[in-house]
Amino acid sequence: MGKVRVIARVTPDEPENFDSLKAAVEALQPENIEIEDIGFGVRAIKLVKVVPEEDGAMPKFEEQLEKLPHSGGSEILAVDRM
């Protein structure tokens, strides 16, 4: 089986919880993390994660993103085959 590169964005539930959310995202061991300024002091975390291209891998990753502590929401921006 191959692998896919997933680019996702996660926003905190409250601006003061950003550092806690960032630590939780880092625990997922992404390939890359970028901080995006959205506006009005709100920041988001854009991450790149490589997951196996197999049944259930993407839903499992999406579930991990949804369950991050202090997450106000997440979205998958892109999925590319490697």
CA 26-41-25 angle, 5° bins: 10
The domains found in the chain, sorted by start residue, are 3-81 (3.30.70.60)
Report pLDDT digits (tens) over 64-78: 999 999 999 999 999
pTM of the model: 0.90
The alpha carbon dihedral of 42, 48, 51, 56 has a sign of positive
C-alpha–C-alpha distance, residues 28 and 41, integer Å? 25
Report pLDDT digits (tens) over 10-57: 999 999 999 999 999 999 999 999 999 988 888 999 999 999 998 889
pLDDT the model gives residue 82 = 87
